[in-house]
């Protein structure tokens, strides 16, 4: 991991926006990272969420000094140096851009944004912030999985010869049951997409990260198998995909198939990547 240059002698102040599934996972990471890795000094300053009571309880549980409900006031605090965005996708762009402009280092969960336009604005804000010494990154955590990091090294060393094609499949089944209820993850306006942004994003990132190549061609398909799910007000329309398929062409000539599904019954959280190189005598 790269190290931040500390603005002063004091520990870096961290704020996490969001306290649900990912907010909890990131809180755990912040709580334990210094036990395992050599990182700059930092403090778990504030956990941010919309529900004051719930976020206060979560903050206490996950080791945060305070909780807050207004992310805008948090990113304007002088004692906050890092803003870690675990809010739903539709909020990413606004928070990230504001935080970058406020001079905060930013970590955003994937998928980066719900629309290409938002993503481009964020990338611009990040590039401009970088010139002022402000760091930013997307939460592609699989890059740090030892087996994948090793695979990347083996590829870079040419141990597989020339990589020809890759098969990447990310399969889950938590939406297999038609009774699994509606949530923000199943609405296009909040989540942007379904399996595509949620998990195919990891697979696509790996394809690029493993090979050091960039996707330049794509053909793909999306499917929603369960069109309606039980919500607060009866059945509601699911407006994102349950599964996604794509064939990718990369700059260096690699082809990759990517498949993601949240209705792959029996697969709890399976990310499998097969890499086929030229024959090495």
Q: Does 269 bind its own copies (CB under 8 A)?
A: no
List beta partners, residue 169: 259, 272
CA distance 166 to 108: 27
**Residue from the set 123, 127, 178, 235 that interacts with its own copies by CB under 8 A:** 178
120 Cβ contact list (under 8 Å, min separation 6): none
Contact track, its own copies, 196-235, x by CB under 8 A? -----------------------xxx-x-x----------
CA distance 93 to 71: 13
CA distance 271 to 160: 21
Minimum distance from residue 243 beta carbon to its own copies (Å)? 6
Query: Is residue 205 a contact partner of residue 109, using CB atoms and an 8 Å limit?
Result: no
Tokens encoding 207? 């394809």
Q: Does 152 bind its own copies (CB under 8 A)?
A: no
Q: Does 165 bind its own copies (CB under 8 A)?
A: yes
Residues in 15-74 that interact with its own copies by CB under 8 A: 24, 27-28, 31-32, 34-36, 61-63
Closest CA to 250 of 219, 195, 207: 207
Instruction: Please say which residue, 103 or 277, places its beta carbon nearer to its own copies.
Output: 277
**Residue from the set 205, 245, 250, 271 that interacts with its own copies by CB under 8 A:** 245
CA distance 146 to 125: 31
> Which residue ranges make up the site for its own copies (CB under 8 A)?
24, 27-28, 31-32, 34-36, 61-63, 160-161, 164-165, 167, 169, 173, 176-178, 219-221, 223, 225, 242-243, 245, 247, 253, 255, 257, 259, 261, 263-267, 274, 276-279, 281
């Amino acid at each position: 991991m790269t190290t931040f240059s500390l603005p002063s002698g004091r520990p870096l102040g961290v704020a996490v926006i969001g306290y649900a599934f990912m907010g909890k996972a990131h809180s755990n990471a912040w709580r334990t990272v210094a036990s395992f890795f050599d990182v700059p000094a930092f403090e778990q300053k504030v956990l941010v969420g919309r529900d004051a009571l719930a976020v206060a309880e979560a903050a206490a549980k996950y080791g945060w000094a305070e909780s807050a409900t207004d992310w805008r006031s948090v990113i304007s605090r002088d004692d906050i140096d890092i803003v870690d965005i675990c809010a739903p996708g539709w909020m990413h762009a606004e928070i990230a851009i504001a935080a970058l402009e406020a001079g905060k280092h930013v970590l955003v969960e994937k998928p980066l944004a719900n629309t290409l336009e938002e993503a481009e604005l964020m990338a611009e804000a990040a590039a401009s912030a970088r010139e002022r010494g402000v760091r930013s990154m997307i939460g592609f955590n699989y890059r740090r999985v030892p087996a994948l990091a090793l695979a990347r090294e083996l590829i870079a060393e040419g141990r597989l010869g020339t990589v020809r094609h890759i098969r990447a499949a990310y399969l889950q089944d938590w939406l297999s049951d038609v009774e699994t209820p509606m949530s923000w993850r199943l609405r296009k306006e909040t989540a942007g997409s379904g399996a595509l942004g949620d998990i195919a994003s990891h697979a696509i990132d790996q394809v690029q990260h493993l090979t050091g190549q960039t996707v330049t061609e794509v053909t793909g398909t999306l499917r929603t198998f369960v069109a309606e799910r039980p919500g607060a007000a009866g059945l509601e329309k699911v407006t994102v995909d349950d599964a996604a398929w794509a064939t990718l062409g990369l700059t260096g000539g690699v082809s990759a198939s990517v498949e993601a599904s949240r209705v792959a019954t029996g697969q709890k959280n399976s990310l499998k990547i097969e890499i086929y190189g030229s024959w090495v005598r």
